[in-house]
Structures are given as structure tokens and as C-alpha cells.
Amino acid sequence: MSVNILVVDDEESITDLVEVYLKSENYNVCKFYTGKEALECIAKVPLDLAILDVMLPDIDGFSICQKIREKYFFPIIMLTAKVEDIDKIMGLTLGADDYITKPFNPLELVARVKTQLRRYTKYNINEAQDDYEESNNEYDFEGLVINKNSHKCTLYGKQLSLTPTEFSILWHLCENRGKVVSMEELFEAVWGEKYLDNNNTVMAYVARLREKMNEPSRKPKFIKTVWGVGYTIE
């Protein structure tokens, strides 16, 4: 089965290099140097993943990310020359799944692409599966229902539109209901990578989950913060 990957960066040397490495893994690459061309591609081509540069000459990568998330759930990896945490948090809050800073090792980018595609493929397979052994793969409490087999989550009867990463975070917290899950444990369980100090990725995702659940940050009903430790669902 072919995999279509969108690559957008106004630095042609970077875009062309990424294309070479991705094609060596037998991925189909749709490469563009402007945001306008990328948006036109998104509307026409069934994509499996997008790699977006933040700084583009016409439409910035954050805006493209936001536009994608209005309709699609395929993984998004942001590229940027900036290292400020605020840029990373903004991208993750808008729905990006990963973030890599220039200059980067193309092999590292390919590894991250594979990780995101594995998660996305698993998500789609589970979407199509019947609810086999549903009782062991579903949590239902206080109006929140999350099912691992169907990868669906509802809150008070209304389905939440969660990305695979957001679903994985919420599932892990529900699976450890009543326990405090550290940010380190949560990051390593969901991303499968070693947690580094000052990593705000988990914090950004929890903020986005709360927003989708209409949870007040100060007095949330479901995902509660244990300051200095992590998060818990009681």
C-alpha cells in the first residue's frame, strides 16, 4: 500500500533532500515550496502524513496545520529554525504530532516519520475493527467513554475529535485511573522516546485535550494536575 507524504519548505535544498530520503523508503512524496500549493494538494491528494515548515513566504506552517486539523487526522511534523518553546507549544496546541528543529539529521526525520505512521496505521486499523472484547478495552465513567478497539471517545454522548496522539494520552491516563502518571512516564509511553527535562510536549497536549473536553484549566473534572509530579484521572 502506497504512503503519500506532503513536504512543504521554501528552502528548496531542504525539501529536495527530504524527498530523496523519503523516496529511499518507498514513500510517495508531494513536495512544494509555498503554502498555497500545499493547501491545493491537501484538497486533492489522500495524504498519510505532512511535514510543514513553519516559516513560508505566503502562508505559515501553523495556519496550514490548523487548516488540516479542521478535516483530517493524519500526522503532522513541524520543521522550524526557531528553538523557542513557545513555537513548539503553539504547533502542538494547533494539532501537530511532532516537532523538529533545523538543522536536523535526515535519518532522524525519517525515523520520526516511521514512528508517526506506525501510530496512525494502528489507529486506522482499530477504527475498522469490531468491538472485540469491548469490556476489557473500554472505560466509562462520569460521562467519559473511551474505547480502545474503535479508537472512539465520547463525552456526555458527544464524540470528541481526537488525533491518535491525543487518544493515546487520554487512554494511558484512563488505564491508570486513580494513579498519578508522571510527565516522564506519559511521554515515554506515548512517544516511545526518552523524556528530557524541560520538555513541554505533554503539557501542550494536555492543554489541548482539556480544550476539546471544555475543561477549565484551574478546576478540571477529568484530567487533574498534580503539581511537580504529573497528571491523574480520579
98-101 and 138-141 beta bridge pairing: unpaired
Q: For the chain, how many helices (H) and strands (E)?
A: 8, 12
Distance from the Cα of residue 206 to its chain's centroid: 12
Residues 123-138 have a mean pLDDT of 53
C-alpha to C-alpha distance for 232 and 226, rounded to whole angstroms: 7
Which pLDDT score, from 0 to 100, does residue 132 have?
39
pLDDT at residue number 128: 46
Cα 78 from Cα 100, distance rounded (Å): 6
Mean pLDDT of 42-48: 93
Q: Answer yes or no: is pLDDT of 147 > 60.
A: yes
Q: What is the pTM of this model?
A: 0.61
Q: What pLDDT shows up at residue 163?
A: 85
**220 in Cβ contact with 209 (< 8 Å):** no
Which residue has better confidence, 50 or 130? 50
From 9, 3, 37, select the one nearest 102 (Cα to Cα). Answer: 9
Q: What pLDDT is recorded for position 18?
A: 95
130 pLDDT more than 70: no
Q: pLDDT-based confidence at 173, cuts 50/70/90?
A: very high
Beta-carbon count within 10 A of 71 CB = 9
Q: What percent of the chain has pLDDT over 90?
A: 33
What are 64-109's pLDDT values in tens digits? 998 998 888 889 999 887 655 556 666 666 778 888 888 888 988 9
Residue 89: its pLDDT value, please?
63
Contact 19, 28 (CB under 8 A): no
pLDDT classification of 15: cutoffs 50, 70, 90: very high
- Cell 510527565 sits on residue: 183
Q: What is the mean pLDDT of the chain?
A: 84
Least confident of 73-82, 90-99, 168-177, 206-215: 90-99
Indicate if the pLDDT at residue 36 is higher than 90. Answer: yes
Mean pLDDT on 2-14? 94
pLDDT, average across residues 50-60 = 92
Instruction: Please name every residue paired with 50 in a beta bridge, in sequence order, or none if there are none.
Output: 6, 76
The larger pLDDT score, comparing residue 5 to residue 141, is at: 5
**Within 13 Å and on the Cβ side, how many CA atoms surround 219?**
0
Separation CA 229–CA 225 (nearest Å): 8
